[in-house]
Structure 1
Amino acid sequence: MKIRRFFGKDMREALSQVKAELGSDAVIMSNRKVADGIELVAAYDKEPEAKLSVPKPASKAPGQKAVPSLSEIIGDDGPDSLKALLEKQHGSSAQPQSQKDTSANAQHANEIASHLNFSDDFIDEVEAAQPQPQSRASRYEQADAFPSHQASSIDETAPNQSDELAQIKEELASLRNVLQYQVADLMEAKNKRQKPVHQYLITRLTDMGLSHALATQLINYTPAHYNEREAWVYLLNLLANRINVTGNDILTAQGAVALVGPTGTGKTTTVAKLAARYAQKYGPESVAMITIDTYRIAAFEQLATYGKIIGCTVRKAQTSEELADLLFQLRHKRLVLIDTAGFSQRDSRLIKQIKQFDNGQMPQVKKYLVAQANTQYPALQRIIKAYDEIELSGCIFTKLDECYSLGEVLSAAVEYQLPVSYVTDGQKVPEDIKIAEAKSLVSAAAKLYKKYGLNHTSSNNAIKTA
């Protein structure tokens, strides 16, 4: 028994070589894929007649080794016959997984031996036995039959894949932001070259506190032939025309008015100022004040102190029902001013307070937003959005005397179409409250910018190093 190796680009060519050189009595011991094709290991009992050129000796010479048998070659002590070998190989197909490679080789040998004539059908069957790519449907069907430990291993890889996808998405979003920034920078550079005066004025408006969107919108209406000075005056007048003011609407009207807004904006003091002004015009008996601020310590006492000075009625309500009853009792008053509790725009109690004015039994109450004039623009946006559920009749800007920039509140008032009613600039009651005027507000914003915003007027202290 001898063993030969044959190489072919596919199974058909390799088997053809075996048949041509060894004949149909050869036994295929194994087959495997190599880089250039298929490798077959074949065994045969005698030299093929085509290759016999030297007759075999009748007996072996002393000291000459015997030709190894098929059993010795494959490491088995069974009978040295092709039939017994095939039977043994057929039975080994039920071996455990650890002997998978040997069983596969035996199965190939069994199939090949059963077709010793190397027919084309046999070759097609051998090639069909090679691993083929599975369709997606077959993979899904086999996934249901996986053992539990294999399914668990697949489930463990799923979060890792999700994390990788999330990381890829985050990187793509980051690249998109960088590209958008670069494109915007290129467009800005282009506009600076084409319209240097307009770009300079946009910078001045944003430094004054206006949002970039509003500044760009105003610049688009500026005539191109204006010089810097003419364009700046034109922009200030255009901004004043965009601001909506209500005039002296609270002190000339009748009914109930509630001041709402975040904490610390000066609502209580503003209520006292309005009440004092109204009492000066119509008498103290024509005005009353109600507080629903039950959270701040001594809130009612503070308003009651103002009431004693003014000489008007002051009441306190803890629920919406009490507020409705008090408004009914004070219906003979020309003006009833309601002081509300101050909450952050992110506080859930703010929504509860807003709903007090919509219980069905409440008479119509006008709501005015009280905001500090020195509030940052993003904070102003969120404050206004927090009161989207109620209809605001106007707003009151307080603490103008503490501002270094006034463009933020003007920008918010224009962009959200919020009418401006009054402004306050001090703690004196009732002196430090004024009716809002658009040109006065824009003029004050320009003066603050000239005083604190320009490079030659702002103080830039050098950083001291040790």
Structure 2
Amino acid sequence: MLIREYEANSLKECLTQIRNELGPEAIILDTRKARKGGLLGIGAREIVRVVAATGLVPREEVEAKSLSTGASKEEGRPKESAGATSAAAARAYRTIAAVANNSTEQRSASNRSASATKTRPSPSISSSHEEEYLPSSTSKARRTTPATNSHPVEPAAEPTPTTNGAKKPSVSSMQRIGELEQALAEIREALDTLQQQQQLAQEQTVTAVVSALAPVVAPSAPPPLVLPACPELYKRLLEIGVDEALARDLVENLPDVSRWSEQARLPMALSALSDLIARRIPIAAPLSPTPGQLTTVVFIGPTGVGKTTTIAKLAARFALLEHKRVALLTVDTYRIAAVEQLKTYGQIMDIPVRVAYDQSEAVAAVRECADYDLLLIDTAGRSQKNTMQVGELKSLIDRLNTKSYLVLSACMKERDMLEAVERFSKARVDNLIFTKLDETDSRGSLLNVLDKTGVPLAYITTGQKVPEDIEVADGRRFAHLLLEEGR
């Protein structure tokens, strides 16, 4: 009897190997699934292991083959697991071979009994053939009985056939079945032990490799934030809404102030930080209209950011302070109050105001103002989320071929300001104007928008007064407003 274990990716592949090596008469003793390969169980693939047996061979040959097969298959594995498996397999082979031999002897005895029954119709059975019908233990006892015994032992009665024609198994058959099951249990136990030892050895190997490589592949911890110059300034930047990465970059670029006195350290660090912010802000050149040459500027942006008031402040600044010829044009016909508001400003400053209800009228109005130095164009508030309205603005700006200022309120959320810059840039955004800086103390988002978009800042407004509360963008002034809360 030859028993082997086969391993493959599927049961079909295992059966093919068994049929090729052991032949079509092989018997399947055990089938199970397992996982193999991978690292710490990750990436392991599922395999099938099958134990099969065939043939009746001499005991010495079976043991020799099992030992040689075990040595070849278990090469590189722990010696203890190979020895345990071979010993258990050898015991199982001897048990199965004994059971097979007993089965052969029983079949031979049955054949001889059938022949004797045909030739001798007498129901009694001679003592010479009684041993063939008795179990092995009974036959042995009969042979040891003296010949002078006048009471011969009667042969065992024939098993009574059941209703389906099958014979009840004898005690010896049940014993042999129990021995076979015990042998199979020993094989399974040996295979389980071998599998556990293999898994343990694999885990120990992986653990050793990971431990050896841990110092090499372990990620290094980020260096702690060192703020040699006034941690108070870093905290202040975060409080006013400056992005953490930007605040860290600004503070880390401060000069070393440890050599300064205790009293001068904070003011000097604050001045150095203002210089860093001023250099970081992109600043646009202010409007500088040339006499006799028309400069047109269109103001765009969301609703409620103060476009009309900002236009009035700039118009008063150039008309009253710089004595330029200024004209106003509005295409904001969605709100009657906007037109009336702009006309009121025009009457106060003695500046002409024109109204255009479509793009053609806007183009004609620009031609009529060709003799002026500066033309400021007011547009209706548009939502940056409305792509159709943004498209209309783009068409208007393209037809007028004019510079565009995007007006944003300092009270807006940073996310909304960034979205507005992105969406209105599809029309055209040359410069930014921040309004209502007097209505908030969290102005760090303005610095974040300028740093992330890179769009230059042209003007800021700090109140409602016309024309006082508008300033040309200046880096140091803007930094002062950020750090000193506008005071």
**How would you bin the TM-score normalised by the shorter chain?**
0.5 to 0.7
**Which of 254, 265, 270 is 1:232 aligned to?**
270
Equivalence for 1:134:
none
Q: Distance in 1 between matches of 2:458 and 2:342?
A: 22
Equivalence for 1:389:
426
- Any idea what the Cα deviations from partners look like across 1:89-139, whole Å, max 9, x if unmatched? xxxxxxxxxxxxxxxxxxxxxxxxxxxxxxxxxxxxxxxxxxxxxxxxxxx
Residues 8 and 38 in structure 1, CA contact (< 8 A), matched pair in contact too: yes
Equivalence for 1:202:
234
Equivalent AA in structure 1 for residue 367 of structure 2: F
- What SS class does the counterpart of residue 302 from structure 1 fall into? helix
Which structure: larger Rg?
A: 2
Equivalence for 1:434:
471
- What SS class does the counterpart of residue 303 from structure 1 fall into? helix
Q: Which moved more, 1:232-241 or 1:214-223?
A: 214-223
Equivalence for 2:281:
243
Equivalence for 2:72:
none
- Any idea what the Cα deviations from partners look like across 1:356-411, whole Å, max 9, x if unmatched? 2354xx34311111111232222222222223235533222111220112222133
Residues 332 and 338 in structure 2, CA contact (< 8 A), matched pair in contact too: yes
Q: 1:67 Cα deviation (Å)? A: 7.8
Equivalent AA in structure 1 for residue 296 of structure 2: A
**Which of 57, 61, 82 is 2:117 aligned to?**
57
Equivalent AA in structure 2 for residue 331 of structure 1: A
Equivalence for 1:324:
363
Q: 1:258 Cα deviation (Å)? A: 0.8
**Which of 219, 237, 240 is 2:251 aligned to?**
219
Question: Taking structure 1 as the reference length, what is the TM-score of the superposition?
Answer: 0.56
Q: Distance in 2 between matches of 1:417 and 1:395?
A: 10
Q: Distance in 2 between matches of 1:393 and 1:435?
A: 15
TM-aligned CA distance change 1:306 to 1:260, over 3 Å = same
- What SS class does the counterpart of residue 342 from structure 2 fall into? helix
TM-aligned CA distance change 1:68 to 1:351, over 3 Å = same
- Any idea what the Cα deviations from partners look like across 1:39-84, whole Å, max 9, x if unmatched? 99x9x9x985587564532348599679899x966xxxxxxxxxxx
- Any idea what the Cα deviations from partners look like across 1:285-314, whole Å, max 9, x if unmatched? x22211122333532222222222222222
Q: 1:8 Cα deviation (Å)? A: 6.5
Q: Distance in 1 between matches of 2:463 and 2:122?
A: 128
Q: Distance in 1 between matches of 2:312 and 2:354?
A: 13
- What SS class does the counterpart of residue 369 from structure 1 fall into? strand
- What SS class does the counterpart of residue 376 from structure 2 fall into? strand
- What SS class does the counterpart of residue 360 from structure 2 fall into? helix
Q: Distance in 1 between matches of 2:122 and 2:2?
A: 33
1:264 and 2:304 aligned: yes
The runs of 5 or more residues in structure 2 that have no matched partner are 5-17, 32-50, 56-99, 125-156, 167-218
Equivalence for 2:86:
none
Residues 290 and 373 in structure 2, CA contact (< 8 A), matched pair in contact too: no
Q: Distance in 2 between matches of 1:246 and 1:358?
A: 20
TM-aligned CA distance change 1:51 to 1:262, over 3 Å = same
TM-aligned CA distance change 1:48 to 1:366, over 3 Å = same
Equivalent AA in structure 2 for residue 344 of structure 1: S
Q: 1:268 Cα deviation (Å)? A: 0.8
Equivalent AA in structure 2 for residue 219 of structure 1: V
1:402 and 2:439 aligned: yes
The 5-angstrom pairing of residues 438-457 of structure 1 reads 438-448=475-485
Q: Distance in 2 between matches of 1:290 and 1:371?
A: 20
- Any idea what the Cα deviations from partners look like across 1:139-182, whole Å, max 9, x if unmatched? xxxxxxxxxxxxxxxxxxxxxxxxxxxxxxxxxxxxxxxxxxxx
Residues 421 and 429 in structure 2, CA contact (< 8 A), matched pair in contact too: no
Question: Taking structure 2 as the reference length, what is the TM-score of the superposition?
Answer: 0.54
Residues 60 and 66 in structure 1, CA contact (< 8 A), matched pair in contact too: no
**Which of 314, 328, 334 is 1:274 aligned to?**
314
Residues 289 and 295 in structure 2, CA contact (< 8 A), matched pair in contact too: no
TM-aligned CA distance change 1:298 to 1:225, over 3 Å = closer
Root-mean-square deviation (Å): 4.2
Equivalence for 1:304:
343
Q: 1:318 Cα deviation (Å)? A: 3.0
TM-aligned CA distance change 1:312 to 1:34, over 3 Å = same
TM-aligned CA distance change 1:14 to 1:408, over 3 Å = closer
How many percent identity over aligned positions?
30
The count of corresponding residues between Structure 1 and Structure 2 is 314
Residues 251 and 274 in structure 1, CA contact (< 8 A), matched pair in contact too: no
Q: 1:223 Cα deviation (Å)? A: 2.6
Q: Distance in 1 between matches of 2:468 and 2:24?
A: 111
Q: Distance in 1 between matches of 2:378 and 2:334?
A: 12
Q: 1:443 Cα deviation (Å)? A: 1.3
Q: Distance in 2 between matches of 1:281 and 1:209?
A: 36
Residues 222 and 234 in structure 1, CA contact (< 8 A), matched pair in contact too: yes
Equivalence for 1:357:
396
Residues 7 and 14 in structure 1, CA contact (< 8 A), matched pair in contact too: no
Q: Distance in 2 between matches of 1:282 and 1:196?
A: 48
Residues 227 and 251 in structure 2, CA contact (< 8 A), matched pair in contact too: no
- What SS class does the counterpart of residue 290 from structure 1 fall into? strand
Q: Distance in 2 between matches of 1:200 and 1:61?
A: 118
The runs of 5 or more residues in structure 1 that have no matched partner are 1-5, 18-30, 74-182, 452-466
Residues 214 and 415 in structure 1, CA contact (< 8 A), matched pair in contact too: no
The 5-angstrom pairing of residues 3-402 of structure 1 reads 34=30, 36-37=51-52, 49=108, 52=111, 54=113, 56-58=116-118, 59=121, 61=123, 187=222, 190-192=223-225, 194-195=226-227, 197=229, 201-224=233-256, 226=258, 229=266, 230-246=268-284, 248-249=286-287, 254-281=294-321, 286-359=325-398, 362-402=399-439
Q: Distance in 1 between matches of 2:457 and 2:23?
A: 94
Q: 1:267 Cα deviation (Å)? A: 0.2
Residues 25 and 54 in structure 2, CA contact (< 8 A), matched pair in contact too: no
